[in-house]
Structure formats: C-alpha cells, structure tokens
Amino acid sequence: MFSLQTMFGKGDRFYTLLESSAGAARDSAKALQALLEAHGEPLLLDGFRAARRREKELAAQISEALVNTFVTALDREDIEAMSSALYRIPKTIEKFAERYVIVAKRVEGIDFISRASLLMSATEGVSEMVAELRNGMNIGRMRKLQDRLQAVESEADRLLLEPYRSLYLGSDDPIRMMLAKDLFELMEKAIDRCRDVGNVIYSIVLKNS
C-alpha cells in the first residue's frame, strides 16, 4: 500500500503541520460556539485572530518545507491545495465572527448556535481525514469519512434554508433580515470550506490508491 511517508520523505513534519492546520480550523469553530453563547462578546475575537495567525504561520511553514523537501510520489500542487483549503476555514469563520460582533443585538433571537454545531462537526470531520493520512491511502476508510462530512454539509444546507421563510415572510425589519441572511451565508461558506478540504484529500487518495 502506498505510504505518505514515501511522498513526504521526512513525512512526520508534514503530517504534523497539516494536522495542526486542521486543529486551528477546529479551534476557530469552537471559538465561534463560545462567541455565540456569549451573545457577541467582543473580547472573544482574540481567539479567532490567534487561530488565523496560527493557520497562516502553518501555511507558510508547509510552503517552505515543500521548497526544501524532495517530493516525488505526489504533485506538490496537491499538498499546497490541501494547505490552502485548510487556511480558508478559519479565515471564513473569523469573517463571520467580526460581523456578528457588530450586529449581535440587531439579530438577537435568531438561531445561529445549531448551525455552528454543524460547523464544529464539519471541522472535526476534516481533522479526522487529515489525521487518517498518516495511515496511508486507505480508500475505504477515507470514503467513510468523506461520506460523513458530506452528510454534515447536506444537513447544514437544509438547516440554513429553514430561516429564510420566516425572515422573508415574517419579518417587518428588512435590515435585520439582510444582516441575518449575510451571516447565514457566511456560516454556509465556512461549512463549504470544510467540504472543499475533504474533496482535496479524497481526490489525493483516489489518485494514489
């Protein structure tokens, strides 16, 4: 069976960097849950900024390591694509957090927490898929993880559509409606970013299995 140890040469460093990158995305989702539970406490934004800085530093380390490591069994573009996709998750979550803090009082009473729980599940799924790379190109195991991530995305799509009917038909505050719509769309985009990572990983496994 093909091993990523061959792909990365001294592969442990890449495993660790990618797993840390997935961990930063998961930390962003966890920070979002805390922010929503605190109804937009501005001081909690520090957690998002720290996760974003960490993700940026890890992406830079991966790029530098690729320059200094001989990679033959996988196109370096695949590794860069995985790193780039991981970086976009905390970036999108931070954007949601910054906007939510500004308008928290205006959108009070709208349920973002249940959607944030799905985002948390999606980032956990991403972390599992990245961690599974250490075990090689096990297509069966990776397909199960990919299917689970896709199921989370499908449930998120369903839940994210539900509020629109009440927002459009039952709201007498068009500004509140538009603010909520913007936030729901950012939440959906963050979950889509998790799906993107899963797709990159699964395509790598398919190509090398």
- Report the domain count for the chain: 1
Domain that holds residue 48: 4-208
Indicate the pTM of the whole model: 0.86
- At 164, is the pLDDT very low, low, confident or very high (cuts 50, 70, 90)? low
What CATH number is given to the structural domain containing 56? 1.20.58.220
Contacts of 17 (CB under 8 A, 6+ apart): 58, 61, 62, 65
Q: What pLDDT is stored for residue 166 in this prediction?
A: 63
More confident call, 6 vs 206:
206
Burial 98-112 (b: 16+ CB within 10 A, else e): ebbbebbeebeebeb
